Amino acid sequence: MKWEPQDQHPAEGGRIHLGLGPRADRDLHDRIIRHLTDADVRSGNKDPDFLEGSEVERAERFSRFLARRYYRDRLHRGFRYSTVLLGFEAAASLVDSPEFDAILESCTLGSLITARIVGELALSELRAHRSDEWWTELLDYEFAFFVQLATSEPTPVSPFPQHGMSTLIREFRLRIPELLESLRNENLPVNLPRKPATLLFSRTHHGRIYVVELDLAAAAVLRAINGSRNVAEIADYAALGQKETARILDDLVGINAVLLPLSEAA
């Protein structure tokens, strides 16, 4: 059952001028974008042939500006409930911290690894503000949601069904829908129902985020997917019939939580 409203995120764009003139070669554009968004590429190519002199330094400054803007926006949206409760941008302001400067040395915009590192930095800051159980649950939820916002890295092609790149599965002890509803109404959570639930977080290619409460069958299918089992083996491991497994996989593929091989997706 999907209960969290979708979050559609239009692609951010803008014009980048590095003194290159009207060159429209696609390969060149791709090289420039990769240079600006991947710190490892920049560190391995200190003197790129498509930039001149001072443009290399300008590109480095611009890449850091892009990274701060990218993660500031996603931290603001991902940790929005905790931000309202605290009354200040505790998460988003971290992009101006020395700790974030260290992340910039190796970050790749949109990668899962960088999203997790930035999200963990936010958690380490926010956890110190309260000790309530619901606060811990909220931050775990916001971290998983942030990872969806901040990950646009494509999932590598595989000959077997696999989880989407940013797919996360989290166990919660409290009822998250009631927790979020209480916060939306500007009320501190009191006497929340203790009903364990397994939540799935996923993101489509178009930036739509899904938060889904899994039933036992869907959770079993997801646990069975390890990147080396075919559909029949997944059904056996999950102790489900192949027809039921195929139905669940179809639902999971629809929200990009699972990707099938091209031969099976056709």
Please compute the mean of the pLDDT values over residues 237-249 and round it to a whole number.
97
Same domain, 99 and 178: no
- pLDDT value of residue 24: 54
For residue 32, pLDDT over 70 is answered with: no
CA separation, residue 76 to residues 27, 72, 184 (Å): 33, 6, 16
Question: What value does the mean pLDDT take over residues 203-228?
Answer: 96
Which tops the pLDDT comparison, 56 or 110? 110
Q: Check whether residue 140 and residue 203 sit in a common domain.
A: no
More confident residue, 197 or 58: 197
CB 164 within 8 A of CB 151: no
- What integer pLDDT is reported at residue 62 of this predicted model? 81
pLDDT reported for residue 51: 62
148 and 260 in a single domain? The answer is no
Instruction: Look at residue 61 in the predicted model and tell me its pLDDT.
Output: 82
Phi, psi of 213, rounded to the nearest 5 degrees: -85, 125
171 and 142 co-located in one domain: no
Residue 148 located in a structural domain: yes
Residue that has been written with the tokens 């997944």 in this structure? 234
pTM of the full structure = 0.84
Q: Where a domain ends, among 130, 153, 176?
A: 153
**What average pLDDT does the structure give for the chain?**
86
Flag whether 1 is in a domain.
no
Q: What's the CATH number where 170 sits?
A: 3.90.930.50
Lowest mean pLDDT, pick from 42-56, 124-138, 144-158: 42-56
Q: State which residues form the domain around 48.
A: 24-153
Single out the residue in 101, 133, 153 at which a domain terminates: 153
What is the Cα–Cα distance from 205 to 18, expressed in whole angstroms? Answer: 29
- Whether residue 101 contacts residue 118, with contact meaning beta carbons closer than 8 Å, is answered with no
pLDDT at 37: 72
Q: How far apart are CA 195 and CA 186, in angstroms?
A: 22
Mean pLDDT for 82-108 is 95
* pLDDT, average across residues 50-54: 64
Give the model's confidence band at 124: pLDDT under 50 very low, under 70 low, under 90 confident, else very high: very high
**In the predicted structure, residue 238 carries a pLDDT above the cut 80:** yes
**pLDDT > 90 fraction of the chain, expressed in percent and rounded:** 69
- Residue 120 sits in the same domain as residue 99: yes
